[in-house]
Amino acid sequence: MITFENVTKRYPGGTVAVDSLNLEVPAGKIMVLVGPSGCGKTTSLRMINRLVEPTSGRILLDGKDVQTVNPPELRRGIGYVIQQTGLFPHRTIEDNIATVPLLSGWGRAKARARSRELMDLVGLDQAFARRYPYQLSGGQQQRVGVARALAADPPVLLMDEPFSAVDPIVRAALQDELIRLQGELHKTVVLVTHDVEEAIKVGDLVAVFRPGGHLAQVDAPERLLGAPTDDYVRQFVGFDRGIRRLSFFGTTGIALGLEAVASQDQTVAEAVRAAKNTGEQWVLLVDSERKPRGWLSLAMLESLPADTLLASASVEGYGHTFTVGADSLRAALDATVLSRSGRAIGVDDDGRVVGVTSYERLRAAIQEADVAASGGWADATERPGQAAP
């Protein structure tokens, strides 16, 4: 556990980077510090391993004041990852990873064996072991950076904008990787970012800083989206926070309909009857394995001879489906919005149709999830279902 007790950092000249910070990072959790530039988030991070010394206040690591430990010794027990990787250009990948073990006096053979273990852990091909950093891509370098930070198995990991310098696809992959690793390792992680999406994705807890080194709110990501404490936080987390919050709600409980479904060996007449009986404007066409083929509009069906087989009718694309249970309500909503029929197709793990959504069904599911998640928000106007414009 990391505890900030009234920590202030004032630079010569009077700039206050961090102002009376009180913050507790629970053991085994990812705490994300997020805020605009100059809000003191990086300074706060660097005070943990004494790269920056506080002007006043204390930082406790498992109850021990970091000021009482000599810096090199303290730092060898704290992993550190930075945006520009800071890999040693003159050392091979395996020796880069083995940095802290070598500093701590492990034998070279043992340290290198540990490097290989870590390369596996972070998903780096062992063929890279003898290469130099310049021979790797940005994403690979960042994996080396993470492996290096984990080499001596420190209980605490500090990450300063670790994924900001890579392209969005690699960034998403590295974020997923971090979440996976954390599931195995349970480190106490403090991660600094200016990207609120990243904070919400990887954080167990998110601390929002405001300019001047003040804390605006510390909460679980879902609470941050659902109940921002003030206008600053509300603005900072973004206008579509209501929608984004739906990522935290599953689709297991969503009611899905199967009113207008037809298979390819049925005729147009049967499909039209199904649509009219249910009042639907669209019929979902499925194949013999119940995998979706596309949407048939009622108007189009009525223009065809009644005995035409549906296999030969032209279908509207169905966009993306969502997997019931695995995907979030946000995915279901997104699929619904993108579908011309106003219905999204929920499928099982094998891609077979389970049922379709409607806006009505989504609204009910969102409300239910909301009640279940919060036990009611303090302010009824803050209900996420209604907050999105």
Partner 1 sequence: MSPWTWIGQNIGLLWSLVKQNAYLGLMPVLYGTIISVPLGVACARWRWLYGPALSVANALYALPSLALFLILLDYTGLTNNTVIIPLTLFSLSILLPNVVDGLRSVPEPVRQAATAMGFTPLRRLVQVELPIATPIVIAGLRVATVASISLVSVAQLIGIGGLGYLLINGFQLSLYVEVYTGIVLIVALALTADVLLVLARRLLTPWQRRSPRGAAA
Closest CA to 251 of 383, 385, 347: 347
Could you give the C-alpha distances from 217 to 129, 212, 250, in angstroms and in order?
43, 14, 25
In the complex, least distance from residue 352 CB atom to partner 1, rounded to whole angstroms? 46
Tell me, rounded to whole angstroms, the distance of Cα 44 from its chain centroid: 23
- Give whichever of 131 and 210 is closer to partner 1, judged by the CB atom: 131
| 31 within 8 A of 25, measured Cβ to Cβ | yes
Query: Where does residue 108 rank: exposed (0-12), middle (13-18), buried (19+ CB within 10 A)?
Result: exposed
- Options 85-93, 220-228, 265-273, 353-361: segment touching partner 1 (CB under 8 A): 85-93
- Binding flag, residue 91, partner 1 (CB under 8 A): yes
In the complex, least distance from residue 130 CB atom to partner 1, rounded to whole angstroms? 10
In the complex, least distance from residue 25 CB atom to partner 1, rounded to whole angstroms? 18
Close Cβ partners of 303 (under 8 Å, ≥ 6 residues apart) = none
In the complex, least distance from residue 97 CB atom to partner 1, rounded to whole angstroms? 11
- Give whichever of 84 and 252 is closer to partner 1, judged by the CB atom: 84
| 143 within 8 A of 177, measured Cβ to Cβ | yes
- Residues numbered 222-281 forming contacts with partner 1, rule: CB under 8 A: none
Amino acid making up residue 294:
G
- Binding flag, residue 103, partner 1 (CB under 8 A): yes
Q: Which of 74, 113, 172, 220 binds partner 1 (CB under 8 A)?
A: 74
Residue 79, classed as helix, strand or coil, is strand
Q: Which of 80, 249, 282, 318 binds partner 1 (CB under 8 A)?
A: 80
In the complex, least distance from residue 184 CB atom to partner 1, rounded to whole angstroms? 23
CA distance 118 to 177: 13
Q: How many residues at the interface with partner 1, by CB under 8 A?
A: 32
DSSP H stretches of helix in 151-214: 168-185, 196-202
- Options 2-10, 28-36, 99-107, 266-274: segment touching partner 1 (CB under 8 A): 99-107
Residue 15: CB atoms within 10 A of its CB come to: 11
- Binding flag, residue 359, partner 1 (CB under 8 A): no
| 202 within 8 A of 175, measured Cβ to Cβ | yes
CA distance 54 to 26: 21
Close Cβ partners of 89 (under 8 Å, ≥ 6 residues apart) = 132, 133, 134
- Binding flag, residue 86, partner 1 (CB under 8 A): yes
In the complex, least distance from residue 260 CB atom to partner 1, rounded to whole angstroms? 57
- Give whichever of 158 and 387 is closer to partner 1, judged by the CB atom: 158
- Residues numbered 136-165 forming contacts with partner 1, rule: CB under 8 A: 148, 158
- Binding flag, residue 132, partner 1 (CB under 8 A): yes
Start-to-end CA distance of the chain, whole Å, equals: 40
Q: Which of 84, 126, 235, 252 binds partner 1 (CB under 8 A)?
A: 84
- Give whichever of 82 and 333 is closer to partner 1, judged by the CB atom: 82
- Binding flag, residue 121, partner 1 (CB under 8 A): no
Site string for partner 1, 298-327 (x = CB under 8 A): ------------------------------
Residue 37: CB atoms within 10 A of its CB come to: 8
- Binding flag, residue 99, partner 1 (CB under 8 A): yes
CA distance 261 to 270: 10
Q: Which of 42, 43, 44, 49 binds partner 1 (CB under 8 A)?
A: 49
- Binding flag, residue 88, partner 1 (CB under 8 A): yes
- Give whichever of 54 and 133 is closer to partner 1, judged by the CB atom: 133
CA distance 146 to 85: 9
In the complex, least distance from residue 71 CB atom to partner 1, rounded to whole angstroms? 8
Where does 106-228 show beta strands of DSSP type E?
A: 156-160, 188-193, 205-210, 214-219
CA distance 196 to 206: 9
- Binding flag, residue 82, partner 1 (CB under 8 A): yes
| Binding residues for partner 1 (CB under 8 A) | 49, 51, 71-76, 78, 80, 82-92, 99-100, 103-104, 131-135, 148, 158
